[in-house]
Structure 1
């Protein structure tokens, strides 16, 4: 918790047991096979624009074959950093149960130092052989939430070598979640930032085994190397935020739209400035508020120490990052109400 407070990121060994990781890997593969066209559409939109996607859909209903050809022929080699699929939990009860377990949701609550946590999104990242680098960015710059209490768990589905050994796990700009001046350092928020030139200590999670995970604060700048190997790098990122956070108001900062597909299902139902509570933003912690106590038996043992620490320490983590920081793409950092408590009536 102290490491997360100071640097904005931390590694947890053996977060999930082998059986849970294996089951998750198989379920993710199944879901990606069924929904690959969603990932391809998102990548065409982000890298080539809405107009190009609209033309593809008009001419051929944007079949996976057509979308793959567009990405291959119209972009230079290495321009695609990964394929991404959002919100596996919405169509998989097994994934939903895992995200609201003590190992995931309980640890998120501990790191943020809060009692009640909601699930923002999950994302499957498939970095294929030859896919390029993941550029420096911060997750909160892509989320329409007015908060600093936001954390992401990055969970590889297989062993991943350290970046120095050719792996493509995440690299973090330590302390960037605390840097309120970040936006002024790199000027135009629409242009990528090279965090390696900004004086941050750069750290990575090292070599990770299946079941290990890294956690990072929503404002921490992070990146990943290209996949120079001959097998895909497969990982899931799960993001949580403190219950009571409100939907972002447009005057506070602009939002990068790379993850627009993730929030479209609830954005129209939650007015700006109102608490971000919706059935697509489920309350996942504490267990007695979610009905998720049954998950404790399968993966709870690896997070019990974290839960006890939260109760005894009383919230050491998650206070860094007041004021926020941008992602170096398009989103601006800015004002947040990160520690505001609003434990009123909670929607299921």
Structure 2
């Protein structure tokens, strides 16, 4: 596919965005991608994700993703999909929000929840990730305008500051919902932020892609525990062993900057 717009690292980031992420564990940025950019990339993303969905069970398709298997891969993604997932614009945003020099791709998922699809349970992304660092951040990007009825994201504010917690702990925090999002908006959250999504009460498929990044220099830990951890070890971290720097061919650096770090400098390592 040719003629697609280049997603250069041109998105300005206000200090208020980093402050919001530090405090609440999530931040919503409007208009990171233009409607024209999303429209250009959506056909390739949609075709790839719908093809991969055929490998999911009926229950997983209703949820919109698999909590056990990594079926999306840079290894078999078409060039347009890989270009979007590794876009420098996303890399710059996540590096600056994390306050690190460089970020790598951890993995990406297509969250296509059909009409009537059930709620996504409360969870923390780092429970599924075999890394020794909490400097991970996920970007959730709708490929279409999303209404609150289609299953908007909800976050337990400040939960990222307390490490691992049981899902039932979410309701001890103030809950914040993204509500409506436009195609090209980006919702970002930290790895320990408890979050969920509502049922898709509409008759339309809710289309979104999520890309997870981590700070360059993190090391792989063991893949024991939840099935998705084991799946990451055999896919994105294939060939790496516990203690190795997480820098395999499936984890390219997508953005590297120079100058003093900004953003989450005060976060605990």
The TM-score range, normalised by the shorter chain, is 0.7 to 0.9
User: How far apart, CA to CA, are the structure 2 residues paired with 1:211 and 1:266?
Assistant: 26
Contact 1:112 1:319 in 2 (8 A): no
SS of alignment partner, residue 119 of structure 1: strand
Distance 1:25 1:13, change over 3 A: same
Cα deviation digits, residues 272-317 of structure 1 (max 9, x gap) = 011111001111112xxxxxxxxxxxxxxxxxxxx8xx957x3222
Contact 1:11 1:213 in 2 (8 A): yes
Distance 1:311 1:168, change over 3 A: farther
User: How far apart, CA to CA, are the structure 2 residues paired with 1:169 and 1:13?
Assistant: 15
SS of alignment partner, residue 267 of structure 1: coil
User: Between Structure 1 and Structure 2, how many residues are aligned?
Assistant: 248
Aligned residue among 143, 147, 155 for 2:141 = 155
Distance 1:218 1:196, change over 3 A: closer
1:146 to 2:129 alignment? no
Distance 1:100 1:196, change over 3 A: closer
Structure 1 partner of 2:206: 233
Q: Quick check: which one's helix share is greater?
A: 1
What is the TM-score normalised by the length of structure 2? 0.83
Q: CA deviation at 1:20?
A: 1.7
- Supply the RMSD in Å over aligned alpha carbons: 2.4
- Point out the structure with max Rg over C-alpha: 1
1:97 to 2:83 alignment? yes
Structure 2 partner of 1:203: 176
Cα deviation digits, residues 72-123 of structure 1 (max 9, x gap) = 9xxxxxx942235743543122222223333201101011101111000110
Aligned residue among 314, 317, 330 for 2:264 = 317
User: How far apart, CA to CA, are the structure 2 residues paired with 1:268 and 1:157?
Assistant: 30
Aligned residue among 249, 252, 255 for 1:285 = 255
SS of alignment partner, residue 189 of structure 2: strand
User: How far apart, CA to CA, are the structure 1 residues paired with 2:230 and 2:105?
Assistant: 16
Aligned residue among 224, 231, 235 for 1:265 = 235
Contact 1:31 1:88 in 2 (8 A): no
In structure 2, the gaps of 5 or more residues are 1-17
Cα deviation digits, residues 46-77 of structure 1 (max 9, x gap) = xxxxxxxxxxxxxxxxxxxxxx4xx59xxxxx
User: How far apart, CA to CA, are the structure 2 residues paired with 1:9 and 1:278?
Assistant: 28
Q: CA deviation at 1:228?
A: 1.2
Contact 2:237 2:250 in 1 (8 A): no
User: How far apart, CA to CA, are the structure 2 residues paired with 1:235 and 1:318?
Assistant: 30
SS of alignment partner, residue 197 of structure 1: helix
Distance 1:258 1:226, change over 3 A: farther
Contact 1:9 1:172 in 2 (8 A): yes
Distance 1:88 1:35, change over 3 A: same
Structure 1 partner of 2:244: 274
In structure 1, the gaps of 5 or more residues are 45-67, 73-78, 187-192, 287-306, 323-337, 339-348
